[in-house]
Amino acid sequence: MGLGTVAVTGAAGTIGSAVREALGREARRLILLDRVPLRREAENEEIHTVDLRDLPAVEVALAGADRVLHLGGLPDEAPLPDLLQANVLGTHHVLEAARRTGIARVVLAGSNRVTGFYPVGHRTGPHEPVRPDGLYGVSKVAVEALGQLYADKFGLSVICLRIGSFERVPTEVRHLATWLSPRDAIGYVRAALTAAPSTRFATAYAVSANTRRFWELPDPAVLAYVPVDDAELHARDIPGAGLPSDPDAPQAGPYALPEFTLEHLTP
């Protein structure tokens, strides 16, 4: 299945920048949205400087797209009002613009942090109850819920990728389980954008084939991509990689600590 015209929100971000070149080679047209100005780098690119809180502007920018990759939003812990505006309201506007303009497929950037309180010794699947590790995780739970709503109520085809630790190479012990390599990130995005139209809603962990991973890989019947990279190949370069792990410790690691969220709570 060809990509057709693909819109990417948050195109100036870390993952957006990584997938831009790959998608640009395969898409007929690439519509790039971000609230910071971007420079057009290819003939098939169309640039829009848009704040996702502005629904009319989002609708104009997405007009003509066949598929949307929604990466825009705050990428980490922050005060809840900020997360609600950037992540939840922004996602609502992307889905609503897709509904109004007849876009068939929306791929949402979810996060592994929606299940961060499951223990390291537990292999977690996408159908288990959420256990967010902070306010950011809560906002991503809401993102998934909005995707499910628009799939069930309005018939959009929505795939939510629970993205792992996107890094060029793993640099800390937790990454040995959670790493998502750039190559695998592109593979997951491509598979999600081109999954069968009959897929109404699906959630999948986007993680490399790490020996120590604690999330299930996607069902090939849902998402036809098998990751190829393994963080274990970098273990010798990571201090502490040889130490035993506590199977009862939360998968979120330091993100699960109260201090990680307390600084963002209103006094």
Show the CA angle centred on residue 156, arms to residues 150 and 162, nearest 5°: 75
User: Angle at the Cα of 209 (from 203 to 213), degrees rounded to 5?
Assistant: 75
Catalytic residue among 118, 136, 225, 255: 136
Structure tokens at 249: 């410790």
3-class secondary structure, 130: coil
Q: Which residues pair with 69 in a beta bridge?
A: 8, 107
Q: Does residue 190 contact residue 225 with C-beta atoms inside 8 Å?
A: yes
Q: Which two tokens stand for residue 108?
A: 């949402």
User: Please, which residues have CB within 8 angstroms of residue 170's CB and are 6 or more apart in sequence?
Assistant: 176, 179, 231, 234, 238
Q: Which candidate, 46, 9, 40, 3, places its Cα nearest to that of 25?
A: 3
Contacting residues for 103 by C-beta, under 8 A, at least 6 apart: 7, 62, 65, 66, 67, 68, 97, 156
150 is catalytic: no
Residue of 228, 225, 224, 207 whose CA lies nearest to 216: 207
Residue numbers annotated as active site:
136
